[in-house]
């Protein structure tokens, strides 16, 4: 399955899109995506229907985005829960780019080699460079509305951000796979286990719900109607603060002030439990470990060694281990 995924070519992409009922011109451009394979496909004018009703402004009329999911990452059921979140957002008139329905009413199909894929409208927007306080308030309002919808339905098949899924499972994979050099193995394992103990206790009793999960500024665009979030591929069940700290990840006084402005906008839409701000550093630590394991799990993909040339080096593991030790220090002494 992985080999079929690596060997996706424009002709195979066009064949899959046309098998789903869309007549293509032959124009097919690869878009930037590490996790999945994503393509901008042009449709014939007479193949256009009324399938571009979205809540993010005007879609590019004769273009679609074909997204082919990496095999083994998400099951079809998990992908459908991602899509359901997007459909729920649209139903609530919240800006979101939901997948199109195929003629059979489904939002996910398979290629002849079993790779799951979906078709989305192509919608333009720009990534903001720096955010003003007014923009932060608007983004906070939007995120509050997204989370209100997220809390309205469960997603039992999506993963949760917790010590087991983001921590211990990833540590075990790194250790068994021999990714950590021997000179750092003991230190890395010790600090990771120390973090897991503290984080596990801190997450007990915290409210979990559907959230974006990868809500950094790279997944935020702005068009004439305002901001909207992209790429719900990492949608998880987790605490709302995960999305908030990823939008404003810094620790310095200015970042804290900006985060407070964002929360101010958020609280115009729904209540935010400020006690969960204490989870920022624990969640950051889990993300460090999860990200490292994500790269390691994808190392057979030819794109990853090219994109992450430092991975596996002495310097890489020195920095990673030191970062985790700093996270543990911050969690143990939160007022410093």
- Count the neighbouring beta carbons within 10 Å of the beta carbon of residue 325: 16
In angstroms, what CA-CA distances link 294 with 122, 213, 288, 289?
A: 27, 15, 10, 9
Closest to 47 measured CA to CA, from 78, 73, 25, 32: 25
Active site residues: 214, 231
What contacts 2, CB < 8 A, 6 or more positions away? Answer: 71, 72, 300, 301
What sign has the CA pseudo-torsion 299, 300, 304, 308? positive
How wide is the angle at C-alpha 140 spanned by C-alphas 144 and 167, nearest 5°?
75
Residue 303 in 3-state DSSP? helix
CA 229 – CA 90 distance, rounded (Å):
12
Q: What would the two tokens of residue 240 be?
A: 């709302």
Beta strand 37-43 with 24-31 is antiparallel
């Amino acid at each position: 399955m992985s080999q079929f995924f690596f060997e996706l070519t424009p002709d195979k992409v066009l064949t899959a899109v046309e098998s789903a009922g869309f007549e293509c011109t032959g124009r097919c451009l690869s878009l930037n995506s590490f996790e999945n394979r994503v393509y901008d496909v042009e449709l014939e004018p007479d193949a256009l229907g009324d399938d571009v009703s979205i809540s993010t402004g005007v879609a590019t009329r004769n273009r679609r985005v074909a997204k082919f999911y990496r095999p083994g990452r998400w099951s079809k059921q998990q992908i459908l829960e991602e899509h359901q979140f997007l459909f729920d957002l649209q139903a609530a008139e919240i800006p979101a780019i939901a997948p199109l329905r195929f003629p059979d009413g489904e939002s996910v199909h398979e290629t002849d080699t079993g790779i799951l894929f979906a078709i989305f409208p192509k919608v333009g927007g720009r990534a903001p460079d720096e955010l003003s306080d007014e923009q932060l308030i608007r983004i906070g309002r939007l995120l509050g509305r997204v989370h209100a919808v997220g809390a309205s339905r469960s997603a039992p098949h999506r993963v949760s951000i917790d010590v087991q899924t983001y921590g211990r499972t990833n540590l075990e994979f790194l250790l068994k796979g021999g990714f950590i050099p021997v000179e750092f193995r003991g230190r890395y394992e010790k600090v990771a286990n120390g973090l897991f103990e503290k984080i596990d206790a801190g997450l007990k009793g915290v409210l979990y719900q559907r959230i974006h999960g990868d809500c950094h500024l790279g997944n935020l665009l702005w068009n004439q109607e305002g901001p909207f979030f992209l790429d719900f591929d990492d949608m998880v069940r987790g605490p709302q603060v995960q999305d908030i700290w990823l939008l404003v990840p810094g620790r310095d006084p200015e970042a804290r002030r900006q985060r407070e402005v964002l929360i101010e906008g958020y609280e115009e839409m729904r209540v935010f439990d400020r006690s969960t701000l204490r989870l920022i550093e624990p969640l950051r630590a889990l993300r460090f470990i999860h990200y490292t394991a994500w790269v390691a799990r994808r190392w057979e993909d030819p794109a990853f060694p090219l994109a992450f040339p430092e991975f596996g080096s002495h310097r890489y593991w020195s920095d990673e281990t030191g970062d985790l030790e700093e996270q543990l220090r911050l969690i143990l002494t939160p007022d410093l």
